Amino acid sequence: MTDSSNVTAIHERLDGRLVLPGEAGYDEARSVWNAMVDRRPRMVVRCASVGDVVAAVRTARELDLELGVRCGGHSIVGLAVPEEGLMVDLRPMGGVRVDPVRRRAWVQGGALLGALDREVQRYGLATTAGNVSHTGVGGLTLGGGMGWLARQYGLTCDNVVSFTMVTADGDVVRASRTENPELFWGLRGGGGNFGIVTEFEFRLHPVGTRALVAEYTFPLDRALPALRAWRDLNARAPRQATFTASVGGDGLVRAGFVWVGDPGQGRLLLPEMRALGRPVSERVAEPSYLELQRVDDSVQGHTSRRYWKGHYLGGFPDAAIEAFLRRGVAAGDAGLPSVSLQAYGGAIADVPDQDAAFSHRNTLFEYVCAARWSEPAEDRTRMGAARRAAAELEPYATGAYVNVLSDEGAEGVRRAYPPGKLARLTVLKNAFDPHNVFHLNHNIRPGRA
């Protein structure tokens, strides 16, 4: 237990608040997106300033406590929540400051995507961000950051101008192309392995405020030719279009695209989409960009038990389409996971591979198999079904997105980074965190590169 003298000393260091088990706010702080995660930190530091982050890191080291960092809390395995450790809760540091003339945004490390989107959309600006508004900016960006603007403007990490970071020693450093450039390289895709980022400076783009979503639904027995045509159309689609496909729990197959920009231009793709096959329904909508960014929020709430697996696919041959549609088991079986595809390419692939730690820029589609349920008794069944479905696509996989790794451990890290990059990241880890203070992540271990 933490004695009263330690608690008093920690309180005196903070601008924010120390929350202990049994106190108001403790259970809310430790509750994250995946309801399977039910761990109890010894203390939670609700950080209100960079100084609080420094104090939290130093406190964890002084008391030899495992350190977790919480923003959106979307890690599928709950990496933010250390059992009997110290949780750094960055959410009070959620501010966003925008310079619309310079097209820059300065985003505190605890901000959620919704806060970033709302502030920049006042000026018709945006930068690449994920598809669920209550995701943390920090976790998304440090792992790479895919979103509806990525094919036009690159990944979230490609749009970072600078980072401000607290190190394992409690120092505050800045990283950019000219200041700590190797750290700048590693923070763009290397995850939370090197420190706690307290501020991101982003480049913004004039995207307007409008979008278009087109979705066509097919029964399973008519989906194979439709997905073939969808795949081929994706190869020549404009960069404003991000093609998507999914098979839901209802067994229906949905294929379409999301367009950010003038909806009238996006509608020029609709005749070719209607030629994919004989859909049972068509949905075409023109949400605002902010509505688009919130469209999955209700589905992605914080009360469900969850598990997922993911792959990067460098190609999508007919055999892979068939495996995608099977979902690991025969049609009609109960409890099947949902599977989805999102197109890469465009500006993502324009960035040279060695420019950042993020890897696999020549990915064609990102595949995610996601299970969601409510009863603990179903855990084993649901997780097993997701693993089987993902295994069907593994022969076509070229790697994995670090932000979609779950319980793969070191093998998952090796899938996310090729050997040369992993060696370079290890050298960087040795320099900034040789004792692996920041190991509750998809961990790059210090040691020999």
**C-alpha 402: how far from chain center:** 8
Q: Are residues 110 and 189 in the same domain?
A: yes
Q: Are residues 362 and 263 in the same domain?
A: yes
Q: Are residues 64 and 150 in the same domain?
A: no
Q: Are residues 236 and 299 in the same domain?
A: yes
Counted domains in the chain: 3
pTM: 0.96
DSSP 116: H
- The greatest distance separating any two alpha carbons of the chain, rounded to the nearest whole angstrom, comes to 71
- pLDDT tens digit sequence for 126-153: 999 998 999 999 999 999 999 999 999 9
Domain final residue pick, 404, 420, 442: 404
Q: Are residues 224 and 101 in the same domain?
A: no
- pLDDT tens digit sequence for 10-67: 888 899 999 999 999 999 999 999 999 999 999 999 999 999 999 999 999 999 999 9
In a domain, 416, yes or no: no
Q: Minimal CA–CA distance to 73: which of 253, 246, 378, 306? A: 306
Tokens for 57, please give them.
Answer: 């890191």
**C-alpha 427: how far from chain center:** 25
Domain final residue pick, 61, 89, 117: 89
* Portion of the chain with pLDDT greater than 90, in percent: 92
Domain final residue pick, 42, 72, 89: 89
Tokens for 5, please give them.
Answer: 């003298």
Exposure of 222 by Cβ count < 10 A (0-12 exposed, 13-18 middle, 19+ buried)?
middle
Q: Are residues 78 and 125 in the same domain?
A: no
In a domain, 421, yes or no: no
Residue 332 has pLDDT above 60, yes or no: no
Residue 325, φ and ψ in degrees, nearest 5: -75, -30
In a domain, 287, yes or no: yes
In a domain, 409, yes or no: no
Q: Are residues 277 and 298 in the same domain?
A: yes
Q: Are residues 84 and 216 in the same domain?
A: no
Question: What is the mean pLDDT of the segment spanning 175-201?
Answer: 98
Q: Are residues 218 and 203 in the same domain?
A: no
Q: Are residues 232 and 178 in the same domain?
A: no
Q: How far is 162 from 155, CA to CA, in rounded Å?
A: 15
CB 312 within 8 A of CB 405: no
* Portion of the chain with pLDDT greater than 70, in percent: 97
Those residues whose C-beta lies under 8 Å from the C-beta of residue 101, and which sit 6 or more positions away, are none
Q: How far is CA 54 from CA 45, 57, 168, in A?
A: 11, 5, 9
Residue 330 has pLDDT above 60, yes or no: no
In a domain, 433, yes or no: no
Residue 363 has pLDDT above 80, yes or no: yes
Range with the poorest average pLDDT among 117-126, 293-302, 372-381, 408-417: 293-302
Give a three-class secondary structure readout of 205-234. EECCCEEEEEEEEECHHHHHHHHHHHHHHH
Q: Are residues 230 and 263 in the same domain?
A: yes
Q: CATH number, domain at 274? A: 3.40.462.20
Q: CATH number, domain at 81? A: 3.30.43.10
pLDDT at residue number 10: 84
Can you give the residue range of the structural domain that contains 43? 4-89
Token pair 């692996």 in the structure block, residue:
436
Q: Are residues 115 and 227 in the same domain?
A: no
In a domain, 335, yes or no: yes
